[in-house]
Structure 1
Amino acid sequence: MCTCSVHLSHGQRLTALYEYYYPLFLYPYGRCEGVLVLHLETSFFKLRSMLMAEATATSPAAEGAAHKNGADLSIHKNTTLPPSPAPLFPICAPSIDRFAAVWTTLITNCDYLPGLLTLDYSLKKVGSRYPLVALYTDSFPPEGHAALQARNIPAKHIPYLLPAAHKDYSNDTRFYDCWSKLAPFSLVEYDRVVQLDSDMLVFRNMDELMELELDSSALKGEGSRVFAASHACVCNPLKKPHYPKDWTPSNCALTTQHADPASAQTQGAPATAGLGVLNGGLQVVNPSTAIYEKILAVLQTPSATSNYAFADQSLLSDLFPGLWVPLPYVYNALKTLRWEGVHSEIWRDEEVKNVHYILSPKPWDEKGGEEGQGDETHRWWWKVNNERLEEEKKRGII
């Protein structure tokens, strides 16, 4: 049960109320802190069902239906709801401790903040039923926290993870932060965590990942479905000299799917295909203390971590070889896969659920990207980002 309040003007339908305050019902277990007018002393699920059932009712009829369902409406004739379409920002921050499953994303500084804010917007835009939780470290600055709070994005502190020894990542300094992307395995207050990189953009609902079958945490990482992820592309299309020598198209698991593009939209290549390595940008995890302890043990093994070229994803590929569930590329569609000569044979714009803006520059670092310069997928990002900015402007979020 939760008590909250909203304005409702005479003559407006409850469906309009539902549409405008969609995020409130999107997070049915959210802790409401709004100070409004319509007191709803009923469960959110019950209220949502009631609203949908009254989709064609005018407010007098809806008022009667609401009273029968335990809601106390106060009609204010001089108060009107802003018009639909519904905004994509909650009017009250969800209480994340009441969720059994969440999306998470790592944030250590403000360099990726534009990506995180637009990622959050995109998840809400596609109607995800689960909140995005920003996992921040000590280095995340006050202005970053203010940006999250202004948008009611929940945040959770995590320790900054580093191994006892690691490779020199001076060519890719981002990998120093990537070890902390292993933290979701420790979040045992949740039954399911789906870790997303902040340089991702969701185009289609992928809530099904929250119910994907994985090993029970009781197996302590000894099963065959420890977590889920998509394969890394090991083609090295930019020919980076510091990448492993065996990172070639002939060793790429995605290359094995070129002959059957249709199945590539719904099935990942076997976990052992190609080099058998995953991309850490999206990880579906059942948090487990036992698994996390295994990870921490490897972090304290210099003979292993000093050879990991790609930090977290190298560790997981090594610790759980062939024991992870391979997701189709559509859940972690690296932007480079779309390039001609990489994996354009399997890429389908209409099937992709989540684009991953790997490498540099990021879309938000390209001035004029919204005018159509650069990578086509960057223009997609700018379009959604501009929608977000317009919504925020209407609500006084600068």
Structure 2
Amino acid sequence: MDQGRRVVDSEKVWASLITKTSYLQGLLTLHHSLASSGTAYPFVALYTDSLPQEARAIIAARGIPLQRVDYLKPGGGGRDYKADPRFEDTWCKLSVFSLTGYERVVLLDADMLVRRNMDELMELRLDEERRVIAAGHVCSCNPLRKPHYPADWVPENCPFTSRHADPEAAQTEGEDLSTRPLGLLNSGLLVVAPSAARYAEVLARLETANAGWVFPDQELLADVFRGRWVPLPYVYNALKTLRWRGVHDGIWRDGEVRNVHYILSPKPWADADGGKGNEEETYRWWWAADRERRAREEARGIFDALSASQMRLDRPSL
């Protein structure tokens, strides 16, 4: 199938990859939140052959266009992601560069929730030299002290730590890209101008992927586009952990956040209690959006496992 074709009549689109049913509820609620933001651009669900037909039918029933992409993995097999199984399919996100039928694609992870309109990303200047893609930074604080994370992932090396002295600037500016891990991106939101040349560049590096990479696609992207990506302020990819007390709550502003990213586990749809402690408020946002989505779907006559809040598909393997 030609990934260079369009499935919508627009040169610029939002997109999200889905490879398994465990992220289906997340994708539907992401789409709902994006539409509720008043965006002028369509949303496309990118899927691989691993996604069951039942899930594709649920997506199509909501009027969401589907576009097939290739299932990608490293040439030599790469690292074993038993410690973080959610990363097993994230190589497939690299297929966004193959979507040459579009002038601009903003790729969003399915575990995100749009809180404010961010159509300005469709007009963000990119070029072929120093601004090839745009993304937000990783948070290298490792607040859960995961033992398999890199040793240099400590608060003093985190790009967001340097913003504590000027929280207002953090709402509108990214950080310096000069040193590791400051030079690493979080691939939850990617602003991309697809091209055959960029896709070939990415695939070539995928063939020789470093088995030591803890974070698959985003370490590859940071390697391929080192010094050539635009750092976005945290508000476009607001990692849920930034809001945690003692992490980066000093720069977080609820009213400024455009898009929340529910990294790590549990995902909101796998936590019917709505989160606890640090996560309670942000999970409340997600569940409110999910309830609104289901109510609107049922008003349109859509009744299935997800519209009726009776999800019986496989839960995330986290």
Q: Does 1:253 align with 2:159?
A: yes
Q: Which residue of structure 1 aligns with residue 51 of structure 2?
A: 140
Equivalent residue runs for 1:299-314 within 5 Å: 299-301=206-208, 304-314=209-219
Give the % identical residues.
Answer: 57
Query: Per the alignment, in what secondary structure is the counterpart of residue 134 of structure 2?
Result: strand
Equivalent residue runs for 1:140-289 within 5 Å: 140-165=51-76, 166-215=78-127, 219=128, 223-272=129-178, 275=181, 276-289=183-196
Q: For residues 144 and 309 of structure 1, what CA distance do their matches in structure 2 show?
A: 29
Q: For residues 287 and 9 of structure 2, what CA distance do their matches in structure 1 show?
A: 33
Look up the equivalent residue of 2:49 and give its one-letter code. Answer: D
Q: For residues 374 and 238 of structure 1, what CA distance do their matches in structure 2 show?
A: 14
Distance 1:252 1:371, change over 3 A: closer
Q: Does 1:297 align with 2:204?
A: yes
Query: Per the alignment, in what secondary structure is the counterpart of residue 98 of structure 1?
Result: coil
Instruction: Looking at secondary structure, tell me which structure has more helix per residue.
Output: 1
Q: Which residue of structure 2 aligns with residue 112 of structure 1?
A: 23
Q: For residues 226 and 354 of structure 1, what CA distance do their matches in structure 2 show?
A: 22
The worse-fitting range, judged by mean Cα deviation, of 141-150 and 344-353 is: 141-150
Q: Which residue of structure 1 aligns with residue 255 of structure 2?
A: 350
Superposed displacement of residue 272, structure 1: 2.5
Superposed displacement of residue 131, structure 1: 1.3
- Is contact 2:268–2:275 with CA below 8 Å preserved after alignment? no
Query: Per the alignment, in what secondary structure is the counterpart of residue 50 of structure 2?
Result: coil
Q: For residues 241 and 371 of structure 1, what CA distance do their matches in structure 2 show?
A: 23
Q: For residues 259 and 274 of structure 1, what CA distance do their matches in structure 2 show?
A: 21
Q: For residues 274 and 306 of structure 1, what CA distance do their matches in structure 2 show?
A: 18
Look up the equivalent residue of 1:180 and give its one-letter code. Answer: C
Q: Which residue of structure 2 aligns with residue 390 of structure 1?
A: 295
Q: Number of residue pairs matched?
A: 296
Q: For residues 289 and 167 of structure 1, what CA distance do their matches in structure 2 show?
A: 27
Q: Please list every run of at least 4 consecutive aligned residues from structure 1 whose deviation after the TM superposition is greater than 4 angstroms.
A: 370-374
Superposed displacement of residue 274, structure 1: 5.3
Q: For residues 270 and 32 of structure 2, what CA distance do their matches in structure 1 show?
A: 19
The TM-score, its normalising length taken from structure 1, stands at: 0.72
Distance 1:189 1:240, change over 3 A: same
Look up the equivalent residue of 1:300 and give its one-letter code. Answer: E
Q: For residues 224 and 354 of structure 1, what CA distance do their matches in structure 2 show?
A: 25
RMSD: 1.6
Q: For residues 373 and 345 of structure 1, what CA distance do their matches in structure 2 show?
A: 14
Higher relative contact order (CA 8 A, sep 6+): 2
Largest Rg, 1 or 2:
1
The TM-score, its normalising length taken from structure 2, stands at: 0.90
Q: Which residue of structure 1 aligns with residue 311 of structure 2?
A: none
Query: Per the alignment, in what secondary structure is the counterpart of residue 253 of structure 1?
Result: coil
Q: Which residue of structure 2 aligns with residue 123 of structure 1?
A: 34
Distance 1:274 1:162, change over 3 A: closer
Unmatched runs of 5 consecutive residues or more in structure 1: 1-94
